[in-house]
Homo-oligomer: A and B are copies of this chain.
């Protein structure tokens, strides 16, 4: 008998949202990425010559609705529990993806931006890696783990408790020392630190952390 549990796809799943950003960072895409457009994200993708592998949404305000027939697409009801991004994430998790990049998922409406940060937390809780990249910022959720920041030397670094009252974080190679530093949800103490070493790392010792690094 073969494996009953299939290996997850090694391909990354990129979800393109509908935030009204002028340009998608197409240089971040790899040829082998599995690309899902969440509703109006399809308009952004097509405008930049990107044909998604799958589209998910209710399409109630889609400009390129005529293109749906030629694409694999899932049509959601207008009244639904999930946001379009969450629906896309659930479908991708069911298909076995465990590595996610969210683009065009921040910077538009604040409720959508916040919901998409929550979606990062959902991914983390479902044993998947998730990055949300918005302009110069990269957001991810960390819990009970150590992350190497070797490729981010020179970037800004902000750390916030997420989904918890407080979090405890240590790290090296950052400008403001982090030695079992307690971060509170009601006080943005972890803002605008800086990664100053090629061997920098941070470790979340307690709680859940939203880490946002920022290219300068």
Which A residues between 72 and 130 are near B, CB-CB below 8 angstroms? 81, 83, 86, 106-107, 109-115, 117-119, 121-122, 124-125
* Chain B residues closer than 8 Å to A137, beta-carbon distance: 109-111
**Contact between B109 and A185 (Cβ–Cβ < 8 Å)?**
no
- A117's closest neighbor in chain B, by CB? B114
CA distance A160 to B110 in the complex (A): 12
**Contact between A111 and B214 (Cβ–Cβ < 8 Å)?**
yes
How many monomers of this chain does the complex have? 2
* Chain B residues closer than 8 Å to A107, beta-carbon distance: 107, 110
Chain A, 128-139, contact with B by CB distance < 8 Å: what is the 0/1 string?
Answer: 000010111101
Given A106-B110, A111-B192, A188-B86: A118 in contact with B165 (beta carbons within 8 A)? no
Which 6 pairs from chain A and chain B are nearest by CB? A163-B185, A115-B188, A111-B158, A110-B137, A111-B212, A121-B186
